Structure 1
């Protein structure tokens, strides 16, 4: 290894004999664009974790094969067009994440990785995946948002650990009957494909608890309604009775099961009529003339263009449910927000915001001023970034590891950008600097009665809506509104009052509103949405 030419991050790994290397963000991207990836990386044969993300990297060097001890390879959010066949040398791989690239093909070599547990190839241009029969430890497969027309070749009884399959956002036309042989399948996301019929074999997936078929053109209108409004169990009960099974499954049900099947069929006939028998409730109030709006300026569209907001009123926090409220936001950032890569959620005490309209814009880091959450003084965004970077480096040295923690993990999302997105109140105070922090001046507390919620994204408007939907859904069981009582069931349930917020351009023309009629459509039978 040539320590005189090696990048600083690579030299540190070499000198300290560490096993994890993370290269991410604008500065790394610029170095790759100018001189290519540092080849000294491939002398670090002790590496077991390599993360190169959010860069201009277009090709994976063949020298990758020298890193034979890698167990985790993360290459998401780059510009990679192909994976070299030399990857076959990495026989210890357990995790591969090449999502959000430009992949068109996957080498056949990816069909034989005996230790491989997680494969994420979402958001690429893929039409085919090599047979996964030999990858006997495979547990999670994500092929979402690609161009598959045929279900991936994974329906084998040998795949005893395969629990999650995400193929939403493709062009898949059929669900193979052989899917029933997967003994551990718990989650199957087939949303937004071209599926018209659901085979009865799907109901034989005995552990399937989370099934998403939304956004398909199902011929069976009754099933279509169940998919939009019911839980997985009710959907599978219906499919079991009405879905067509493959020939290998036909005739296996004897007369002894006739009565049981008859009962289930009767249950499914009544299911549509029972959909409204729900507990938790979201009441949506329309935009009025005096409602707040968010002005979305042109200059933010090149930085972080997507935003949705809404207002939640009449909250009733306690110390206990406030902790759950904070934990929920952390959970969503780690999950559906993909560690803030896909979107960022922010909440504000509405009554602490200056009355008037909000403005979503972008400002140069030196001009943007904010009093960050849990800090006592006001910083420019540039100074705040530097402060957080220094804190992160000190913490990393103290703990002797190569990864950041807490809010410091997200600094690379704005690093090197000429302007930062921000949300301003009517007096031009910055109340939010996504995806990093909110302002202390609108901080939520147990005294908060009314809340403004914002979700922003650099990816898409739909992701913002999906995150907001999930947040409002998960808020209900926490019990932050005054509980109600169901006299028939003697159960306690919760209601939330949601007020629409619309986004407008600089001239006042409406560009979006949340929640719209197409938002807050749940497959959960314990929630109903009332639109006033």
Structure 2
């Protein structure tokens, strides 16, 4: 089989690479198309080492069953295509952790999905799925993210009971109610989006989901008009909605209708709220026009009162970033998180794009500064040498994301006041600014080429998870500006829904 029309595939085969990312290949622009059975069969049979397979916006209408030969796959993305079904061969892909087949024309998911016991993210939004087309999901014990929004579901899968699931998005469906079995998720669910459905009431178990930080119930058909107004009011806080549901929701058959009132513990709101300092003139990022066409979206903040001297805290904080990169960030293809030790770089910071040959950075865990070109080449070279030595898929972590920007002539970067590059998203941070055990304040950045919304969504989740690790956490607000225009302010008044914030004006130079 010739791959002359597909040099990307030929390169993966020749160099035994572990990732392939195709995007925006127009229908009819190559012969044969990616739909060709012989093409897919030949490619998959020669690439059993693949870890990541991403084919997005390429007008693909079928996936060959030969994909089952790629048993090392951990991430599969076929979003924004024309798929009407998926091959029922997922039983062979035991290592799969991430599956995104959103924005297709699927009416059902294959039964073999239920065997993916390591799956962490299942993204199937914007299809034509019905409840009859979703297999049993009870075995997916590692599932963190389930996005089934914009489909034709009349109900949620009753077997969705992962003990680790943190996010369910079932917006824009035909849901009329939630099952009482939803109670299984009360202790783990952090985000629940059920807006734009046809629900008339909710079970009281939803009111007991006190770990929820994001809850959207707007645009439903609740019979309780007061509750309808509450859910449609964007100013409503999550605790208020949960409290109303717990008191007025649909009760289970064995649930008492009357409860003994308990006097709540009185807490000073200012003491329980997270301190947010605003208006620090040093905490402003200038977005240069050069980055506007490359990676225009950026959200930043500073986390204070952090204690990383406890090794367990350090590990948990890194795990939060890792999980976000695998789930909401879709393996850094939609967004990327960067963290830096405050005091290790000079404020203020500029967000810009530089030609690869003009950009120099001392990448994470590297001893010397190199140009963007040299970094790309060395990562490719080191990964190939490591592969030949070990004959397995253990490669430099930086290399795993190289395919996202490998062909870009200019790269987005954050530069400090001394013109030192401290971040090269989505590839790496700089080694001199990395976190250490004595770090007490962390600069956090989330950047994206797609949208500001995903940046804020990722940052919200990171902050919420950080609050669990660092109970005394305080936040410094950071503004991103382009001339006189504000690009982003975080946290702003609409950020961190469900988290009480106590805003005070900064005295000025704490973080210089």
What TM-score, normalized to structure 1? 0.73
1:103-142 counterparts in 2 under 5 A?
103=104, 105-108=105-108, 110=110, 115=115, 122=123, 124-129=125-130, 131-132=132-133, 135=136, 139=140, 140=143
CA distance in 2, matches of 1:89, 1:325: 36
Structure 2: distance between partners of 1:149 and 1:412? 35
User: For the aligned residues, what is the CA RMSD?
Assistant: 4.5
- Give yes or no for contact 1:132–1:153 (8 Å, CA) kept in 2: no
Residue 531 in 1 paired to residue 479 in 2? Answer: no
Q: Show the counterpart of 2:336.
A: 344
Q: Residues 210 and 239 of structure 2 are in contact (CA less than 8 Å); yes or no, is this contact kept in structure 1?
A: no
**In the aligned structure 1, how far is the partner of 2:464 from the partner of 2:369?**
35
Matched, 1:243 2:249: yes
List per-residue Cα deviations over 1:184-240 (Å, max 9, x = no partner).
Answer: 55666532622586734462999x786566233374267889983439xx93x7535
Give the secondary structure class of the aligned counterpart of 1:311. strand
**Which residue among 173, 190, 193 is the counterpart of 2:192?**
190
Q: For residues 399 and 67 of structure 1, what CA distance do their matches in structure 2 show? A: 24
Alignment partner of 1:24 is 2:30? no
CA contact (8 A) 2:136 2:157 kept: no
> 1:398/1:192 Cα in 2 relative to 1: closer, same or farther (>3 Å)?
farther
2:150 to 121, 136, 147: 147
Aligned pair count reads 478
Q: CA deviation at 1:286?
A: 1.7
User: How far does the alpha carbon of each residue in 1:150-197 deviate from its partner, in whole angstroms, 9 at most, with x for none?
Assistant: 445634xxx3866659552732464424x2256855666532622586
The CA deviation string for residues 385-424 of structure 1, in whole angstroms up to 9 with x for no partner, is: 1112222222223332246452221111211112110011
For 1:350-361, what aligned pairs fall within 5 Å after superposition? 350-355=342-347, 357-361=348-352
Preserved contact between residue 171 and residue 193 of structure 1 (Cα < 8 Å): yes
Inter-partner Cα distance in structure 2 for 1:501 and 1:418: 29
Alignment match, 1:488? none
| In 1: Cα distance, 2:238 partner to 2:397 partner | 37
The 2-side partners of 1:73 and 1:294 are apart by 36
How is 1:161-172 mapped onto 2 (pairs within 5 angstroms)?
164=165, 167-168=168-169, 170-172=171-173
Q: Flag the 1:518–1:173 CA change in 2: closer, same or farther, 3 A.
A: farther
CA contact (8 A) 1:307 1:461 kept: yes
> How far does the alpha carbon of each residue in 1:341-388 deviate from its partner, in whole angstroms, 9 at most, with x for none?
332222223333234x32111111111111223323221111011112
Tell me the SS of whatever aligns to 1:474. helix
- Where do 5+ consecutive residues of structure 2 fail to align? 505-512
Whether 1:203 aligns to 2:205 is yes
What's 1:285 paired with?
A: 277
- Paired with 1:465 and 1:58, the residues of 2 have a C-alpha distance of 30
Is 1:262 matched up with 2:259?
yes
Does 2:174 align with 1:176? no
State the secondary structure of the residue aligned to 2:147.
coil
Q: 8 Å contact 2:23–2:55 — kept in the other structure? A: no
TM-score w.r.t. the length of structure 2 is: 0.75
The 1:367–1:73 alpha-carbon spacing in structure 2 relative to 1, beyond 3 Å, is: closer
Contact 1:370 1:430 in 2 (8 A): yes
Summarize the Cα distance change of 1:133–1:438 in structure 2 as closer, same or farther, 3 Å threshold: closer
For 1:18, the equivalent position in structure 2 comes to none
Instruction: Indicate yes or no: 2:100 matched with 1:99.
Output: yes
Contact kept in structure 1, 2:362 and 2:370, CA below 8 Å? yes
Q: 1:230 aligns with which of 235, 239, 242?
A: 239
1:473 aligns with 2:464: yes
Question: Match of 2:215, SS?
Answer: coil
8 Å CA contact 2:275, 2:502 repeated in 1:
yes
Which structure has the larger Rg over C-alpha atoms?
Answer: 1
